[in-house]
Structure 1
Amino acid sequence: MLKKDKSRRKPAAMLILVAFLVAAVGTFAFSKADAQPRTLYWGISGDDVRHVQIRLSDWDYYDGPIDGVYNPQTFNAVKNFQAKNGLAVDGVVGPRTWAAIGYPPAGGSAPQQQAAQNQPTQQRDDRNEVASRAEVNRADLHLLSRVVMGEAADEPYVGQVAVAAVILNRVESPNFPNTLAGVVYQPLAFESVANAQYTREVSDEARRAAEDAMNGWDPTGGALFFWNPYKPVSKWIWSRTITGQIGNHVFGI
């Protein structure tokens, strides 16, 4: 009776194990390369913020602490970087700014990108546009809700919607930045941003108010400004055309 040569099994088993490990590592690397960076803006924190601070510090845009907190120094450094690199200057690290800073571009491996290039252009553009819009809308809703919370938490519900509508009206106006983050983070534009009140936990009511405004409800009739007449305000604001008052806020254009 012939004996089976067990020694022949070992090289084959080793090859199978190596192939499995290579495939696993490749899958891990692929998933890491495909990871989508989150949008960064004033007030949030994390390792991705620290990554931005390190890069901007290396390039002499940033000289503040490397603490992973998106502080005013980080905001101004990002704006300076954007201005020098032909990007929209809004102080927000979105997909384009991430790419300029050096984050691995989203979109998959080279074979996947090549396959995508072989698809009809219109189909690819529509798909990317829908994904991008969904990401922006989620980030914008969160940011808008925070400002509503900071500026109008004690106002009636319609007053909260009105504040959100003013912010969105500014985005559409040629006299203001054309992004929500750009409007919100304009220096001294909103008291709650300047004093960090907008970092409070967002209520369900504030979030619903932001959603209603984003869905088109504007109780202000297109107002671009709101202010509390019972607090000290700039004399200039009273030169605006008043469109009405809701709760404790006066609205104007």
Structure 2
Amino acid sequence: MVWKKAAVIMIGMTLLMIPVYSGNQVEAFSNQVIQQGATGDDVIELQSRLQYLGFYNGEIDGVFGWGTYWALRNFQYEFGMEIDGLAGPEVKNKLVKASNFDEGFVKEQIRQGNKFTHYGGTPKSQQTKKPAGNDSNGNQAPEQSKPKKTEQTAVNVPSGYSQNDIQLMANAVYGEARGEPYVGQVAVASVILNRVESASFPNSVSGVIFEPRAFTAVSDGQIWLEPNDTAKEAVLDAINGWDPSGEAMYYFNPNTATSSWIWSRPQIKQIGKHIFCK
């Protein structure tokens, strides 16, 4: 009997030594809050999971920059969480439940210098592309003579706006207003610029476009459609001073708008299907 009692006691002590985890445990990441400016493995996992879900289309490089920041904020918005651009325990748990992360695969692609066309959702062989000049085994191909590149510069682009700004605005215009008359597309671009110049909005193109709930194209993903030349020309016309919106700060489609607030804004004019207002 003595040995039986001893065995029971030992089993009980063993059970007490097994750690008990709370329901908030994160099964991935470290225990650190991930925020803008962070670097390392946590950011690689964050970018990979956001890209897996379609919120991040930038490079998976382990650097928490603006692209990662706005992707995270959009993820928080779509999943009904506090929108603060910080990846704490709640955000990490939600990401882990909603996505998959193959750490070995991702880090091997980074080590080889391969670029992700999109992580997740397709066969792994289709998720990355090798750097230009590498053969099928990842080796550097023999260098061949290449035609000399001529330096390209933007035409009629005032200082203060980068090519990235122009590209992002073209994406927004195309996502928001393709099918609208050309003047209406210029007007949408003008609204973005008017907000950049206003103290009531972020003071950058990316900040205005990715402000939560600001543009439908961001919420439904159409911001990432490839813009056509018309959208790009509309952006350049707006940057060069044409504002057919009448200095509007907002616009909406009266056939689909359900917000009583947007209907309360002083209206300036209607162009195509959009009403522009102050």
Provide TM-score, normalisation by structure 1. 0.52
Q: Secondary structure, in 3 states, of the residue corresponding to 1:212? A: helix
Look up the match of 1:214.
239
What are the equivalent positions in structure 2 for 1:115-194 lying under 5 Å apart? 136-194=161-219
Structure 2 residue 243 is the aligned partner of structure 1 residue 232: no
Q: Secondary structure, in 3 states, of the residue corresponding to 1:182? A: helix
Look up the match of 1:46.
59
Deviation at 1:140, TM superposition (A): 0.6
Deviation at 1:136, TM superposition (A): 4.7
Asked if the contact 1:244–1:251 (Cα under 8 Å) also holds between the matched residues in 2, the reply is yes
Asked if the contact 2:186–2:234 (Cα under 8 Å) also holds between the matched residues in 1, the reply is yes
**2:75, 2:206 → 1: CA distance?**
11
**2:213, 2:84 → 1: CA distance?**
18
Asked if the contact 2:166–2:235 (Cα under 8 Å) also holds between the matched residues in 1, the reply is yes
**1:233, 1:203 → 2: CA distance?**
29
Q: Which segments of 5 or more consecutive residues in structure 2 lack a partner in the other structure? A: 1-54, 77-82, 88-157
Deviation at 1:80, TM superposition (A): 4.6
Q: Percent identity?
A: 43
Bigger helix share = 1
Asked if the contact 1:242–1:250 (Cα under 8 Å) also holds between the matched residues in 2, the reply is yes
Provide TM-score, normalisation by structure 2. 0.48
Change (3 A) 1:151 1:186: same
**1:179, 1:47 → 2: CA distance?**
23
Q: Which amino acid aligns with 2:237?
A: D
Q: Secondary structure, in 3 states, of the residue corresponding to 2:268? A: strand
Q: Secondary structure, in 3 states, of the residue corresponding to 1:229? A: coil
Structure 2 residue 208 is the aligned partner of structure 1 residue 195: no
Change (3 A) 1:43 1:152: farther
**Deviating runs (4+, > 4 A) in structure 1?**
73-81, 133-136
Q: Which segments of 5 or more consecutive residues in structure 1 lack a partner in the other structure? A: 1-41, 56-67, 82-132
Asked if the contact 1:158–1:246 (Cα under 8 Å) also holds between the matched residues in 2, the reply is yes
Change (3 A) 1:220 1:70: closer
Q: Secondary structure, in 3 states, of the residue corresponding to 2:275? A: strand
Q: Secondary structure, in 3 states, of the residue corresponding to 1:218? A: coil
Deviation at 1:78, TM superposition (A): 9.0
Greater length-normalized contact order (CA 8 Å, ≥ 6 residues apart): 1
**1:47, 1:181 → 2: CA distance?**
19
Q: CA RMSD in A?
A: 3.0
**2:216, 2:182 → 1: CA distance?**
20
Q: Secondary structure, in 3 states, of the residue corresponding to 1:71? A: helix
**2:86, 2:161 → 1: CA distance?**
22
Structure 2 residue 71 is the aligned partner of structure 1 residue 71: yes
Change (3 A) 1:242 1:138: same
* CA deviations over 1:38-85 (Å, ceiling 9, x no partner): xxxx7432233xx125x9xxxxxxxxxxxx99733698799459xxxx
Deviation at 1:202, TM superposition (A): 0.7
Asked if the contact 1:44–1:69 (Cα under 8 Å) also holds between the matched residues in 2, the reply is no
Q: Which amino acid aligns with 2:165?
A: D
Q: Which amino acid aligns with 2:163?
A: R
